[in-house]
Amino acid sequence: MQILFVGINPGVRSATIGHHFAGYSNRFWKLLYDSRLVDEPIKAEDDGRLPEWGLGITNLIARMTPGIDALRPEEYSSGERVLRRKVRRWRPRVVAFLGVTLFRTVFRRGAGDRVALGQQHETFEGARVFVLPNPSGRNANFSYDDMLAAFRRLRPLARRPRAGATAARIVKVISPPR
């Protein structure tokens, strides 16, 4: 696995259909294609194909909520422990946190701490850390062009999976939203 994308938690539609970033206004899948991280347009229902491009996807917290305000502090702590185990097991080269808020939470930064999009100095269980904008339609802090520029900066860190790498071995890190 080259890049593991990490979201905060599944929204209502993702939990309903069992696929990541499935909200109607979510731009994740379009950003993957427009940035050329994947070479064909795919949708949330295609999330199981991400290993074809050396990509994986998971959430910090498995519980569905309509928004992050309903999440409890202990869910962040236990979710981080689970995420650390996943990263140690699957050893992605890059952990891409989808959202400045998520990065601040995991790396214990205050709301006033400036976080630039892109590669960070920190590592996470040996993996490089990259911060992308949260692609949710609710995110008004970044335009689509800003988001796309950040996703394009991630692309050079992605490499195709080795020939013969089995998708079945890689796909297990893709935990379906609940």
DSSP, residue by residue, 117-146: SEEEEEEETTEEEEEE----TT--SS-HHH
Q: Which CATH class is domain 3-171?
A: alpha beta
pLDDT tens for 126-153 read: 999 999 998 976 766 789 999 999 999 9
Half-sphere exposure of residue 142: CA atoms within 13 angstroms, side-chain side = 23
Enumerate the domain spans of the chain. Answer: 3-171
Greatest Cα pair distance, the chain, in angstroms, is 46
What pLDDT does 57 receive? 95
pLDDT at 176: 58
Closest CA to 7 of 52, 71, 93: 71
Residue 18 CA to residue 6 CA, distance in Å, equals: 16
* 78-130 pLDDT, tens digit each: 999 999 999 999 999 999 999 998 999 999 998 888 999 999 999 999 999 99
Q: How confident is the model at residue 67 (pLDDT cuts 50, 70, 90)?
A: low
Q: What is the pTM of this model?
A: 0.86
